Amino acid sequence: MAFEMNSEQSVVTPQLSSGYAPGALCELQKISQLDDAAEYGAILTLRSTEAVFPTTSIATVVAPKIGLSFLNQTNQALMKCGSDAAVAQCLVHSANALGIAAYAEVWLYDRVSQRLRPQQKETQSPLPANIIEAVFATGETRRGSTPLREAELFYLCVPLASSQEIYGVCALGSRSRAFSREELEMLTAIGHHAGAVLGSLHTKLEQEKACENLIQALALTIDARDEITAGHSGRVANYSATIARYMQLPEREQRLAYYAGLLHDYGKVGVRDEVLCKPSSLTAEEYEEIKQHPEYTLSILSKIKFSEGLAEVPHVASCHHERPDGKGYPRGLKRGEIHICALIIAVADVFDALTVKRHYRDPMPLDEVIALLEAGRETQFEGVVVDAFKQFYYEEYLPRQDRYRK
């Protein structure tokens, strides 16, 4: 790591890819056109609760020593962060625990708005926004001072940068003393590690988005197979996610229910058209062929590498015809052996299948469908899933249908 110094400030420049510079300069040009920092949405106030800076004179303040143990502890804590916000909170907590500054704040870059955005806005940052913006645009660690309410604010600003990109800035401020060279170097190292963690999180997010797009595309191939049942997968997915929400399942399970719901019938691509689109009731042999579609679903989807959060999609999607009493198919699993999301999809699938026109019958009246779900409670359907669905049905579904009829 190379260090560059001038008479006004200490600067550490991370080694960034040359392709980043044009974008950074573009951001810097935007900054220069602003009259007010607040206009740029620049204040990220993840800070300590100390609202007033200490008035101890500089001469009486001794800077705490930053040891390698602190660096290791901070890096380990960063590695456990699962989101951008968690990284920001970790940095602020570590800075506060070290006690080298009166306040700490983190600014994160929002790719949608293409601006640095705050996560909390309770108080105004004492540090001028142009300093933070310059650190973000150039990727340089900076320390110095600036006038503040007839006093002097000492600051240390660290870019949160990987080898490829800058994700934000961590800023420390003190009115009692200047930051040391040791603090600059150590916090710069922490900033690079935080940038690497943020880069890993962003890569993971991009992979998840790519996986979601793939699932959406696969679901469209199911709809293209049969215009009568087109839209079934999307409705089942939406019902499933909603049931999971009413059951207060974690967001991860809600996502799994949605995307497994989208692909629950994907194995039907292996069923013959004359069976799948038959305009009359199926024979016993044809029904046995239809019953193979969950196995086809598992076989086909298992060959796809899903993102970490959706890795269970093939298994869950293939189990939506399993029953709590063990009389389902294809494997005859029982309660406790069936993923909760598969039990959710089972209810959503039956409700949509019976309330929408099919080749061989018209939609069934809604009250009859609800009665069938109740009749299958604890045998064909899991009771808590039926309860959650009925809550959704009466609180959201029926009122929405009434509005449409009006």
Question: What is the token pair recorded at 142?
Answer: 């900076």
Q: Is the pLDDT of residue 189 over 50?
A: yes
What pLDDT score does 53 carry? 36
Among 170, 202, 234, the domain-final residue is 202
Query: Does the pLDDT at position 200 exceed 50?
Result: yes
**pLDDT, average across residues 23-48:** 34
333 and 231 within one domain: yes
pLDDT in tens, 333-366: 999 999 999 999 999 999 999 999 877 778 999 9
- Res. 306 pLDDT band, cuts 50 70 90: very high
> What CATH number did the domain enclosing 364 receive?
1.10.3210.10
Res 16: pLDDT = 41
- The CB density around residue 99, as the number of other CB atoms within 10 Å, is 10
Residue 260 shares a structural domain with residue 360: yes
- Give the 3-state secondary structure of residue 53: coil
Task: Verify that 196 and 235 share a domain, yes or no.
Answer: no
> How many domains does the structure of the chain reveal?
2
Average pLDDT over the chain reads 82
Q: Are 326 and 387 within one domain?
A: yes
| Overall average pLDDT of the 128-136 stretch | 90
Look up the domain containing 232 and give its range. Answer: 226-405
Do 198 and 230 share a structural domain? no
What integer is the mean pLDDT of 234-257? 97
| 373: pLDDT strictly greater than 90 | yes
**240 and 155, same structural domain?**
no
Q: Would 213 be classed as within a structural domain?
A: no
**Domain check: are 166 and 231 in the same one?**
no
pLDDT at site 46: 35
Question: Can you read off the two tokens belonging to residue 117?
Answer: 């955005």
CATH of residue 36's domain is 3.30.450.40
Whether the per-residue pLDDT at 392 is higher than 60: the answer is yes
Is the residue at 215 inside a domain? no
193 and 230 co-located in one domain: no
The answer to whether residues 186 and 230 belong to one domain is no
Q: What is the DSSP string of 244-306?
A: HHHTT--HHHHHHHHHHHHTTTGGGGGS-HHHHT-SSPPPHHHHHHHTTHHHHHHHHHTTS--
Asked, for residue 23, whether it belongs to a domain, the answer is yes
